[in-house]
Amino acid sequence: MSVNSFGTLFRLSTWGESHGPAIGCMVDGCPPGLELDEAFVQRFLDQRRPGTGRNVSPRQEPDQVRILSGVYEGKTTGTPIGMMIENVDARSKDYSKDAPYRPGHADYSYDAKYGIRDPRGGGRASARETAMRVAGGAVARLVLEGIEISSRVDAIGGETDASKWEAMLDAARSEGDSLGALVECSASGVPAGWGAPVYAKLDAVLAGAMMSIPAVKGVEIGEGLGAADLKGSENADAMRAGEDGPTFDANHSGGIAGGISTGQPIVVRASFKPTSSIRKPIASVNAAGEEVEASTRGRHDPCVGIRGAPVMEAMMALVLADAKQLHRGQCG
């Protein structure tokens, strides 16, 4: 992982700001000969894009992807795959350099680091960038034939009963507030043996990938933090002899042991914090160092975890595509 890119042999780099003319990415290391077109990538982008309902940001972005390179006659060529999406509904006049720093967003920390910042929307820190992760993740899925990646929102605002979510979201929205969410993502069909035993452990890379998603504040794999409350006999995934290798009675390990996949589903959960751009006033300061109240207008998600789910799937796909190429490179 480096500043603007992810992966070793299957790599994604992204560029662009939320209110710039466009966002884009480059996928490098994709094998040649895989069928790829814009419609395939678009299917995944449509699951993440804003403007699709009242529980997501109303910003109207069709997220229409263009593939600019690396594909010839519908097949990948092995050369870098460039993709681009134009920003068409930024409405930058809602933002100003003099606005209070939004507590919890990246306004202050970006200023502290760079001393210069695109203040329109979240700039580079806006989760608008995650559209390109989803585009890259779609390409990664091509490398992962036979592997199923899925996700689901497990809880919103601490409530697991989905029938209560709509009313909770309505209440939060009318109070100018927001809610957090717990989201699970899993991958089945991953063979045993991918990953690495020490520093680049599959669980370490996966945790880093999920933690790199904006607003993710906690990640757990398999039993996760709950493992601390179990006995060894309860947490062990008992093994039995099966026709195609061992089978497991349980999956407390979340499909990874010793940094290497076990052949069981890989299961990761992430906690998304509540959206920090809210109308409810919060004490803050501005760039001049004056105390001001931050009450944020603009078109924000009332619960970012809802659109975070497809981003988790994309990061899972990127991690696994890279792990597959690395495994092949070393072990054939």
Ligand X SMILES: Cc1cc2nc3c(=O)[nH]c(=O)nc-3n(C[C@H](O)[C@H](O)[C@H](O)COP(=O)(O)O)c2cc1C
Among 119, 195, 214, 305, binds ligand EPS (CB under 6 A): 214
To the nearest 10°, the Cα dihedral for 122, 125, 128, 130? -170
Angle at 113 between CA 110 and CA 117, to 5 degrees: 45
Q: Is 298 in the site for ligand EPS (CB under 6 A)?
A: yes
Range in contact with ligand X (rule: CB under 6 A) among 84-92, 133-141, 155-163, 271-279? 271-279
Q: Rounded distance, CA 135 to CA 131, Å?
A: 6
Q: Is 141 in the site for ligand X (CB under 6 A)?
A: no
Q: Is 310 in the site for ligand EPS (CB under 6 A)?
A: no
SS3 96: coil
Place of tokens 């069928």: 35
Cα-based distances in Å from 123 to 2, 77, 287: 19, 33, 16
Range in contact with ligand EPS (rule: CB under 6 A) among 26-34, 127-135, 146-154, 165-173? 127-135
What does the radius of gyration of the chain's CA atoms come to, in whole angstroms?
21
What is the longest distance spanned by two Cα atoms in the chain? Answer: 69
Binding partner selected for residue 308 from ligand EPS, ligand X, none, CB under the kind-specific 5 to 8 Å limit = ligand X
Binding partner selected for residue 121 from ligand EPS, ligand X, none, CB under the kind-specific 5 to 8 Å limit = ligand EPS
Which residues are documented as binding site for NADP(+)?
A: 48, 54
Q: Is 279 in the site for ligand EPS (CB under 6 A)?
A: no
Q: Is 277 in the site for ligand X (CB under 6 A)?
A: yes
- DSSP E strands: which ranges in 102-259? 148-156, 181-188, 216-221, 239-240, 247-248, 256-257
Range in contact with ligand EPS (rule: CB under 6 A) among 65-73, 111-119, 121-129, 133-141? 121-129
User: How would you class 160 by CB atoms within 10 Å of its CB: exposed for 0-12, middle for 13-18, buried for 19 or more?
Assistant: exposed
CA–centroid distance for 202 within its chain: 17
Range in contact with ligand EPS (rule: CB under 6 A) among 32-40, 66-74, 125-133, 254-262? 125-133
- Per-residue DSSP letters for 282-307? EEEE-TTS-EEEE---S---S-THHH
Closest to ligand EPS by CB, 126 vs 325, is: 126
Range in contact with ligand X (rule: CB under 6 A) among 65-73, 150-158, 250-258, 300-308? 300-308
Which residues are documented as binding site for FMN?
A: 124-126, 258, 273-277, 299
Binding positions for ligand EPS, 165-194, rule CB under 6 A: none
Q: Are strands 22-28 and 11-16 parallel, antiparallel or unpaired?
A: antiparallel
- Determine the size of the site formed for ligand X (CB under 6 A): 21
Interface ranges with ligand EPS (CB under 6 A): 18, 50, 57, 59, 61, 121-122, 126-128, 131, 214, 298-300
Interface ranges with ligand X (CB under 6 A): 57, 105-106, 122, 125-127, 130, 213-215, 273, 275-277, 300-301, 304, 307-308, 311
